[in-house]
Each structure stands twice: as C-alpha cells, then as structure tokens.
Amino acid sequence: MNSTSFERFHVRSETLEHGACAIAVQNPKARNSTFVLAIASGMRHEQPGEEGMMHLLEHVVYQDSVAISSSERQTEMNNIGAVMGGHTHMDYTEFYETALPSDLPGMVARVIEQVFHPAFNADQIKAQIHAVATERAQRLAPAPGGILPFPHLTCQFWDDYAHGHDGTGDETLFSRVSIDRLKDLHAKNYRPEQAVLVAFGPQDPSEMLRILAENMASLSFAESAQKFASSHRSQARQNEVKHQLMPVPGLATRRLLAATSAVHAQSISASLLGDLLVASLLSLQTGLDSSAGIFGPADLVENDLFILVDDTGLELDPAHRLRALTTVDDAVLGSAAKKALFAAEKSVHDDERLARTTARDMLLRGTPEFAHELVDQLRHLSDQTQQLRRLLESSALRLAAQPWHTISVAPTLQEVA
Amino acid sequence: MNASTLPILAIPDDRSLFPVLSLAWRTDPQHEREARELLAKGLAQSDRWGHPWRQITGDSGSMILTVAAEQPRLERWLHAVADESSRVKSGLVSKPMIAMVGKLAGAENLLATATDLCGAKSSQPMTLPSKMQQNSVEGYQRTLITGEDPIHHAGAAASFLALCLLTGGSWALLPKLVEDLGNAATAQISRNLIQRGPAITWQGICQGTGGMQVFEYLVHALPSQLKSIGEDQVQELKHFGLANLSRAWRSPTELAHTASQYQVMGWGPSLITDAHSELGRVTRDDLEHAMDCLLRPVLEVLGRS
C-alpha cells in the first residue's frame, strides 16, 4: 500500500518557551533547508485607521533590528547564498529563508531576531511606506483598468471592516503611521504564543527542534498589554450583491471579474474538492481563470471567495458558465482533476512551499497534515470518473445558485461606439 | 549507449506524482521570438486541454519548455513536440536537449521517445572570435566585449566559481573594483549564447569616453585581487556557489528547468546534479585559470593576448 504523502516525512513538534509552536520536517534527501516563522495575524486583524499597516510591518521586519542592521543582515545572507521572503496574507503573515542545511542555525537566529525585535528606524519606515505603495502600484498596473479581484472584489463583497478594507497599503500611510503606532501593532500581533516555527531539511528532526528551542529561549519578550482582538471571522458580513461597471479609456477588450462565497476550508470536504475541480475546469478554457480562494485554494479557512476572471469578452453570466460545466466529457474532467491535483501538490512537492504550508496549516487549522491530505484525496479521486462527476455537478450547481458580485472592466461607451 | 553521451539528463526524484520534462532549444536572438511563438502555437493546437503545468521561458539565445504531466500523456505530448518542432524551420532552432525529473522506474518508453527527439550532445567547442562594440548615449559610453565562454578550457565548476567571485556574495569583485575607478563607471559580466555556442559578454559603462580604461583597469586588478584571496575565502566562495546551485532542488519543476538551462547554455549540467563534488574538486590554480579565461576576450580586444 502506498504511504500518504505526509508519512513520507519525519515530523516532530513541540511547544517552546514563550508558547511558540515548533515543527521540524525532515526529508533526508533534501539539499536545502528552509526556516519559516509565521504569525497568526494578517490584514484582517487591522483596525479602522490601520489599513496597510500589517503589510508595512512585514516590510519593517526586513529593516534594522535591535541586534543587526539590515545591510549587515543582507551581507550575512549574501555570503551564504541564502534567499528570503515574506508575505502578508489575510489571516497570517510569514517570513522565511532558504539556504544550505549547515546554515540552518544562522537562518533561525536571524529570522527570529528580526521578526520579534525590529528597531523601528524612522527613515527606514518612510522608505518602506514608499516601497509598499510602489508594490501595490506595480501589482495593479498590468491589470486592465488597474482592477484586480484582490483588493477590488474583496472590498466590494464584504460589508464589515475586517474583511472589506484594503490592506495592501498606499501613500496615505504617511499621514497615519507613527513609530509608536507601529510598535503597538507589533506588540499586539507579533506574539510568540501566536507564532509557528517550521524548520525543514535533511537534518534529524530532534536536532532541528533543538535549534529552534535554543533561539527562542534566548529572546526576551515583554508582556503584551493589549490583548489579541476578538475573532474577526465572526464579524464577516456580506454586502448586497453589486454589479459595477468600470469604464476604462483605451481598453481593447472587456474583462469580467466575479466573486462568490467559497466553501469553508477548515477541513477537507466534498464541497471543497468539488470547488477545486470547478476552478480547474474553468481555468482550462481559453480566456478564463478561476481560483477557489482569493489567495489560492485553502489559504483561508473561512470567509474566502471563489473567483472567476473572464477575458473572453463575452461577459456570460458566471452561473451559465458553471451550469455548462456539468456537460463536459470524461476526458476533460480527467484533465481538470489532474490539474487540480498538481496545483495542490505544488504546496508539498516544493520543499520551501512545504515548509510554508506546514506553518500555515498549523496556524490556521491546528494540524500540519491538511495540505498532504488534500493531495492524497485528489490523487485518489483523479481516476474515479463517476465520483468526479458527482463532485463537479454538486459544486457547479451550488456555486451557480449563489449570488455573484461582478466588476465589468470595459472600454468607454464612446470607444465601443 | 554511454550515459555520458546521452542527450537526456534523467534525474530520479520521488516528490511529485507527475514526471517533469524540460526541453531546451538553441536559437538565434533575431529568431527567438518567432521560434517561441511558433512552438507555443503548435503545442497549444496539439494539446487542446493543456497539462497540469507548463512554462515557456527563453532569453540569451535559448528557449526552454517545461511540462509536468502523467507519463502516458507526456509520451503523447513528446510525439506532438517532435511533429511541431519539425515544422519549425530548422534554421530557427536546434534539436532540443532534454532533462527529465521524476520516478524513473517504468519510464523507459518515455526516455526512449525523448532520446529519439533530441539532438546529440555538442562536444566540439566552437571558436568564437572576441569582439568589441562601443556606443555613447547622453554622455555615457557603453562598451560591450564578447567572446568564448571559458567552460571548454577551464571546466564548468571553476568557470562558475570565477563568475561567482566577480559578481556574487559580499566579496563580489567587479562592483568593488569599478567603484575605485570613480567616473560613475559600472562593469558587468553575463553568460549567453552567440552563434548557438556558449559565450560571455562584458559590459562597461562610464561617463565620457573612458570605456577602455575600465577594462584596462580590470585586466590589471582582477588577477592580483584573486591572488590576495585566502584559502578561507575560497571555501566561502564554494559554499556560496553550492547554495546557489542547490537551490534548483527546491522543487521538481525548478530542478528540471534549471538542469535543462545548464544543458542548453553549455554551463555543465553536472553542476546541478552533483554540485558538491564538482565544486569540491576545484583548486586555486583552476580558479585562477578560469579567471584568466574570462579575461581573455578583454585582453584580445585590448591587443594583449
């Protein structure tokens, strides 16, 4: 019998001093090691007036910290050929480094120190507000009319503040950010007891856990005066359905952006599997792109959106497209299932992504096995045509019956005439 | 067939359920876009419902197509590729070089199909004359010097490490040395394909008309800088090089793509498959010889060879 994809790894975990959760994932054949530190706060944890500050905070973490300047840190990383990354998601924020396995202790020490003890240098904060605003502008620029599902559809879909504000960050941060405000936000959200640390590599898991424990124990943490905000998830409130028309001068073709509620992804359900299949089938068609999640499938456990981007210029009602899916032939259904399987598998066959996914799933779902189970179930399904068809029909019809928000990005009326 | 002469680089890897094939063609810069569009169009027609994953990249005289799919589908797809690429005028692209990453057990048919499709390994080093081009824009002079890649004379690992020494890590010699010159000078070195063979391109930019002075300084300063580097720094350099090469192993798709890139660019794919021992064998003399080879095109255009 084949082992599950999770059983291929040697995994150990423990709770460290200060309450952080540590996980070591060993693949003896790995040629790199990755260290991930993820905290259970993201854009949805921002309060009114804090729009974009969690993203800014992520950038500030890569500036000077109490123990080392950013240029010294960069030199350290350059010398060992390390690469790093950081991302602010809706419900969590992650920081990671990848380098040779022998450099794991340095990576762990570096990332833990910079995440928990940034120096909050005023000039660097200003520079990073520019960087955050530029990042936002560069992300939106290639999209027709500068409109993308995130943040435009997200803000339209949700009526409550936590889900419906734009957390990407722009130059209005200049008038809202102060060092004290960022320090408060950091103290409230970057707490060790809300952090998951994942070490991945060929090393013995016990040795990796020892490195994580030593580095966390060497840090001091002030007690947080501010308590973590009550769950933003319960605040979720959907807007009344809206259909916006956005005329854009000079646009060659129309684009329809559409969103509806995605199924909860706390655990794997038939609805989640069916939605992944539907998104995959839609994406197989020329001019269509679809995702069962605003930041990709299962990046959120609830209050996520199922997205359709239609560049065919036909502006068909998403419900019609979904109902039409139920007539696809078996060969196409099989192709879509394989594509969905590969998309899920990417989060575990890529070593760096595996470490990041493990941290995400531990934070959001309390288990490191979710992504592996998803791969196993999709793998099992991929040749079961009848089962695939049942899942497809159920999900496509359910999604078709749901209310859809749309933004139609279109040439101006004069240009159409 | 001797494995070392096989045009396919097969790397066992059990992380994905889908084998990954990466095909790489050499082309000419003026034909790169045309060839890429023709192949993409042909392949889109031959595989109506797509693959689980596909990526086309290309620059510096190469085109790389990487595909992940289940094995029977990959075999069918390879036949389609053979048909489509035979329709692309032979002047546009070479025969492809292929890297495969995945479970190799049971993949004999796939490997045989791939072998039929690819071209033989090019073993004869091509002689590429060194050339210089200069132009001036808004008070800045740009000097380009092209010539042979040192790989055939200095070996893959030593050439790679010499390039790391010039441009990588905090010791990167090129920016440091050129900064000493002032005059807003910059210097860069890159690898590419010229006339479908491995080549290097030096680029110097400076204010005014002192373009050649940048290179005069480099041919004088680089060898002495290299001699002043201690054994510890050579080990650090190897560590840096190993980290860079090992990064390709993060995922099967990245591994297939990078192995294919090292094949088609002529940089020595064994650097990807066996980086540790390849770099470990490089001696200080090897490194100095590789640096001399990198500087040879500059010396030739300066009339010092």
Pick from B51, B239, B252: CB nearest A100: B239
Report the percentage of chain A scoring pLDDT > 90.
89
Write down the mean pLDDT value for chain B. Answer: 87
Q: CA B34 to CA A207: how far, in whole Å? A: 53
Q: Which amino acid is at A403?
A: P
Of A161, A182, A217, the one marking the end of a domain is: A217
- Would strands A405-410 and A243-247 be described as parallel, antiparallel, or unpaired? parallel
Q: Say yes or no: A350 contacts chain B, CB-CB below 8 A.
A: yes
* pLDDT above 90: residue B16: yes
- The amino acid sitting at A18 is H
Which residues contact residue A74 at a Cβ distance below 8 angstroms, ignoring those fewer than 6 apart? none
pLDDT for the residue A310: 97
Closest-CA residue of chain A to B19: A342
Within its chain, how far is the Cα of A381 from the centroid? 25
SS (H, E, C) B226-286: HHCCCHHHHHHHHHHHHHHHHHHHHCHHHHHHHHHHHHHCCCCCHHHHCHHHHHHCCCHHH
Q: What is the mean pLDDT of residues A19-27?
A: 97
Q: Which residue has the tokens 């993060």?
A: B250
Instruction: Report the chain A residue with the minimal C-alpha distance to residue B251.
Output: A350
**Choice among A7-16, A121-130, A196-205, B269-278 with the minimum mean pLDDT:** A7-16
The C-alpha of B114 sits at a distance from chain A's nearest C-alpha, in angstroms, of 22
Picking from A32, A331, A349, the nearest residue to B247 by CB comes out as A32
Determine the distance in angstroms separating the CA of B99 from the nearest CA of chain A, rounded to an integer.
Answer: 18
Best interface-test mutation with B: which of A31, A288, A339, A348 has the largest number of B CBs within 10 A? Answer: A31
For range A328-350, the mean pLDDT: 95
| A39 and A158 both lie in a single domain | yes
- Picking from A349, A352, A378, A382 by the largest number of B CB atoms within 10 A of its own CB, the best residue to mutate is A349
Average pLDDT, chain A: 94
For each of the domains in chain B, give its residue range(s) and CATH number, in order of start: 7-117 (3.30.830.10), 131-301 (3.30.830.10)
> Do B169 and A379 count as a contact with CB atoms less than 8 A apart?
no
For the ranges A219-233, A277-291, B15-29, the lowest mean pLDDT is seen at A219-233
CA A348 to chain B, closest CA, distance in angstroms equals 8
Q: Which domain-ending residue is among A183, A217, A251?
A: A217
Contact B249 A352 (CB under 8 A): no
A331: closest chain B residue by CA: B49
Question: Distance (Å) from the C-alpha of residue B203 to the closest C-alpha of chain A?
Answer: 23
CA distance B13 to chain A (A): 9
- Is residue A169 located within the same domain as residue A257? no
Same domain, A334 and A396: yes
Q: A272 and A144: one domain?
A: no
Compare B85 and A411 and report the one with higher pLDDT: A411
Would you state the pLDDT for residue A219? 82
Confidence at residue B4, expressed as pLDDT on a 0 to 100 scale = 44
Q: Which pLDDT belongs to residue B78?
A: 82
Same domain, A246 and A184: no
Q: Do A20 and A92 lie in a common domain? A: yes
> Are A99 and B250 in contact (CB < 8 Å)?
no
Q: Determine whether the interchain pair A32/B70 forms a contact, defined as Cβ–Cβ distance below 8 Å.
A: no
pLDDT band at B3 (very low <50, low <70, confident <90, very high): very low
| pLDDT value for B2 | 40
- Same domain? For A316 and A397 the reply is yes
List of residues 6+ apart from A275 with CB closer than 8 A: A262, A263, A292, A297, A306, A395, A399
Among A333, A335, A310, A332, residue whose Cα is nearest residue A410 = A310
Nearest to A289 by CA among A272, A271, A306, A265: A306
A326 and A292 in one domain?
yes
Residue after which a domain boundary falls, among A202, A217, A232: A217
Name the interface residues of B facing A (CB cutoff 8 Å). Answer: 15-18, 49-53, 68-70, 168-171, 236, 239-244, 246-247, 249-254
Q: A 274-333 residues with CB below 8 A of B?
A: 284, 331-332
Distance from CA of A288 to the nearest CA of B (A): 13
- A237 compared with B124, residue with greater pLDDT: A237
Contact B242 A352 (CB under 8 A): no
Q: At A386, list the tokens.
A: 């009848």
Nearest-Cα residue of chain B relative to residue A338: B52
Per-residue confidence (pLDDT) for residue B53, from 0 to 100: 83
Number of H helices, E strands in chain B: 12, 9
Backbone angles phi, psi at A297, to 5 degrees: -60, 135
Q: Is residue A234 part of a domain?
A: no
Interface A:B, Cβ pairs < 8 A: 82
Touching check for A343 and chain B: CB below 8 Å? Answer: yes
What pairing do the DSSP bridges indicate for beta strands A21-26 and A10-15? antiparallel
Give the per-residue pLDDT at B183.
Answer: 77
Q: Which chain B positions have a beta carbon within 8 Å of A353's beta carbon?
A: 251
- Beta strands A288-291 and A243-247 are unpaired
Query: What is the C-alpha R_g of chain A?
Result: 22
Q: What single-letter amino acid sits at A79? A: N
**A395 vs B29, which has greater pLDDT?**
A395
Q: Domain containing A77 — which CATH number?
A: 3.30.830.10
Q: Does A337 share its domain with A389?
A: yes
Name residues whose C-beta falls within 8 Å of residue A143's C-beta, 6 or more positions apart in sequence.
none
Q: How far apart are CA B233 and CA B251, in angstroms?
A: 30
Q: Are B136 and B205 within 8 A, CB to CB?
A: no
pLDDT of B42 higher than 70: no
Is the CB of B254 less than 8 angstroms away from the CB of A350? Answer: yes
pLDDT for A69-83, tens place per residue? 999 999 999 999 999
- Search chain A and give the residue with CA nearest B246: A31
pLDDT of residue B122: 57
- Residue A191: the pLDDT is 93
Domain membership flag for residue A227: no
* Cβ–Cβ gap A342/B239 under 8 Å: no
Which residues 6+ apart lie within 8 Å of B25 measured at CB? B35, B39, B62, B63, B64, B85, B93, B94, B95, B96, B97, B264
A70 contacts chain B (CB < 8 A):
no
Q: Cβ of B236 and A79 within 8 Å? A: yes
Domain assignment present for residue A233? The answer is: no
pLDDT band for position B208 (50/70/90)?
Answer: confident
Nearest CB to B247 within list A78, A83, A284: A83
Containing domain of residue A286, as a range? 240-416
CB-based contact A345 B17, cutoff 8 Å: yes
d(CA A63, CA A123): 10
Q: Would A82 be classed as within a structural domain? A: yes
Indicate yes or no: CB of B15 within 8 angstroms of CB of A31: no
Residue B276: closest C-alpha in chain A: A31
Model confidence pLDDT, tens digit, residues B215-254: 999 999 999 999 999 999 999 999 999 999 999 999 999 9
Find chain A residues with C-beta within 8 A of B68's C-beta.
342
pLDDT tens sequence across B118-138: 765 555 667 899 999 999 988
More confident residue, B72 or A26: A26
pLDDT score of A280: 97
For residue B59, what pLDDT is reported?
79
State the smallest CA–CA distance between residue B246 and chain A in angstroms: 6
* Whether residue A331 sits in one domain with residue A210: no
Q: Is residue A232 part of a domain?
A: no
In angstroms, the separation between the Cα of residue B43 and the nearest Cα of chain A is: 14
pLDDT at B121: 59
| pLDDT greater than 60 at residue A357 | yes
A338 contacts in chain B (CB < 8 Å): 18, 52, 69-70
Do A39 and A177 belong to one domain? yes
Total domain count, chain A: 2
Using a CB–CB cutoff of 8 Å, tell me whether A187 touches chain B: no
> Is residue A272 domain-resident?
yes
Please give, rounded to a whole number of angstroms, the shortest distance from the CA of A351 to a CA of chain B. 5
Looking at the fold, whether A56 and A159 belong to one and the same domain comes out as: yes
